[in-house]
Amino acid sequence: MKRIAAALSALSVATTASLPFSQAHAAALYFEKSVVKTSSEKTCLSFASDVANSQRFRNAHRSASEVAGEKDGAYVAITCVGRPNQQAVAVVMSTSESFETAKAVGRAIADRIKGIACFDTPC
């Protein structure tokens, strides 16, 4: 939960920092969690990188806990949460000026990451 809170805080700061202070903007945030086909947090982040590459994120970057970039008018951040003896969870957060855009992009990315399968063991 700490990672999710940290990711949401980072996304909020990144979004706020990019907005001019002289104007009021109402940005929308959409997030979705997806159970992925691995129990490894590291492998989940690898899946997130694969999605960012295949979906051609602009200004993409990766850290030890996040993969992020821009896609179709939205800023997308993906983080993963490993859980003991369970599948990992990818949390996809998408922000845009329009909730419809944030939701469409966020859902598309969440659907992609949960569809990835690992054929090597361990995964």
Residue with tokens 């202070």: 21
Q: Is residue 120 part of a domain?
A: no
Q: What is the pTM of this model?
A: 0.77
Q: Is residue 123 part of a domain?
A: no
Q: Per residue in 57-110, pLDDT tens?
A: 999 999 999 999 999 999 999 999 998 899 999 999 999 999 999 999 999 999
Q: Is residue 23 part of a domain?
A: yes
pLDDT of residue 121: 66
pLDDT band at 45 (very low <50, low <70, confident <90, very high): very high
Enclosing domain of residue 77:
2-114
- Both tokens of residue 28? 């929308």
Q: Is residue 121 part of a domain?
A: no
Number of domains the chain is built from:
1
Q: What is the CATH number of the domain that holds 65?
A: 3.30.310.50
Nearest to 28 by CA among 73, 78, 91, 82: 73
Task: Tell me if residue 16 falls in helix, strand or coil.
Answer: helix
Q: What is the spatial distance between Cα 77 and Cα 96, in angstroms, rounded to a whole number?
A: 12
- Both tokens of residue 110? 């969440």
Q: What is the spatial distance between Cα 33 and Cα 55, in angstroms, rounded to a whole number?
A: 18
Q: Is residue 119 part of a domain?
A: no
Q: Is residue 122 part of a domain?
A: no
Q: Is residue 27 part of a domain?
A: yes
- What percent of the chain has a predicted confidence (pLDDT) above 70? 76
- Phi, psi angle pair for 26, to nearest 5°: -110, 95
pLDDT band at 23 (very low <50, low <70, confident <90, very high): low
Q: How far apart are the first and last CA of the chain?
A: 23
pLDDT of residue 123: 67
pLDDT of residue 91: 98
Helix, strand counts (H, E) of the chain: 3, 5
